[in-house]
Amino acid sequence: MVSRVLGNYIENLCINFLVNQDKSMNFKLPDELIFLRNSKATQKKSFTSMTGKVCVITGATSGVGFEAAKRLAKGGAHIVMVCRNLEKAEYISKKIKAEFKVPVDIVIADFAHLGEVRKAAAAILNNYTRIDVLVNNAGLHSTVPIYTREGFELVFCVNHLSSFLLTQLLIDRLKESAPARIIQVNSEGHRFGGLDIEDINWKERRYNGYRSYGASKTAQLLTVWELADRLKGSDVTINAMHPGDVKTNIGNNNGWLYKLFYHLLIRPFLKDPIISGEAIYYLASDPEIHDVSGRFFNLTIDEKPAAHALDRNIGKHIWDISMQMTGLHKS
């Protein structure tokens, strides 16, 4: 408790100092630090109804995804949760149905296996004639390299490849349902960098959990700009967002030392993920941004990502690499 209050105080002091300096005439926050000011900004909210809109949300069993599912359900949406754990998903869906009286369906897929992503996409296409919103949220952070049975580094596979594949497989249905929106739950963690197109699977380099997370989120951002261009004129938008620094279960898959560090030194300073749900609701529903596409939002604030995530040349390579790794044809 004491460490939380003290930590919040010091954090606020530092950020307020930088932000106040930024407001004065003689100091301008560099682009790479503007996210600090944005994390303190007043967020936008949407009060637009989502009644009857079919919203597909991955990783809705916990944290950001759970809050997004609740908020969309509160707005009247028909929720389709894509989750890996049936027991957890059933518990969450019952909770949401009971509270908001909207349809909540479950599709099971482990995003560590692209075959399961394909089956999930097929099930969604079979069961829903329209998709109004796709929220690609499922994700993780790992301190050690883990390889999927298809041979991909796990974080890259779950955070980027699976969402890339799911989006590609659902894209025609999204276009048929236009206006439709795709929201990629990305992260300020893309600023950690780490993407090497010659070594996507971390076979040649010493693995670093933060940089592998950064690599997956950078790859996702680079493909957002590519897809936004391809979607021009379709009335389907795609945007990426940072869901805030919020208290969730992320990192719980790691060892005790990491968990101890995280729970003592990081978690106490994090916010309630209810803010992530509100921000996703805004991005999914607000008329103000109906035609905004190919942008990165810090919660609801439009923000410039790190320079390495804006390299369209690398972006074209990542697009082709992602198409190949997911077994889709080269564009």
Binding site for ligand NAP (CB under 6 A): 59, 61-65, 84-85, 88, 110-112, 137-140, 158-159, 185, 187, 189, 242-243, 245-246, 248-250
The DSSP annotation for 161-202 comes to IHHHHHHHHHHHHHHHT-SEEEEEE--GGGGG----TT-TTS
Structure tokens at 238: 């795609």
State the Cα–Cα distance between residues 177 and 161, nearest whole angstrom. 24
Query: Least distance from C-beta 296 to ligand NAP, angstroms?
Result: 12
User: Of the two residues 68 and 177, which places its CB atom closer to ligand NAP in the complex?
Assistant: 68
Residue 299 · residue 244 · CB < 8 Å: yes
Active-site residue (options: 91, 147, 213, 258)? 213
Query: Least distance from C-beta 58 to ligand NAP, angstroms?
Result: 6
Residue 314 · residue 195 · CB < 8 Å: yes
Nearest CA-CA partner of 309 in 246, 242, 237, 233:
242
Beta bridge partners of 246: 271
Residue 144, Cα to own-chain centre: how many angstroms? 21
User: Of the two residues 86 and 129, which places its CB atom closer to ligand NAP in the complex?
Assistant: 86
Residue 239 · residue 249 · CB < 8 Å: no
3-state secondary structure of 273: coil
Query: Least distance from C-beta 252 to ligand NAP, angstroms?
Result: 6
Query: Least distance from C-beta 183 to ligand NAP, angstroms?
Result: 11
User: Of the two residues 158 and 236, which places its CB atom closer to ligand NAP in the complex?
Assistant: 158
| H or E segment and range at residue 39 | helix 34-39
The DSSP annotation for 42-53 comes to PPP------TT-
The pair phi, psi for residue 17, each rounded to 5°, is -60, -50
Is there a catalytic annotation at residue 282?
A: no
Query: Least distance from C-beta 116 to ligand NAP, angstroms?
Result: 8
State the Cα–Cα distance between residues 138 and 172, nearest whole angstrom. 22
Overall residue count recorded for the chain in this entry: 331
State the Cα–Cα distance between residues 238 and 275, nearest whole angstrom. 20
- Annotated catalytic residues are 213
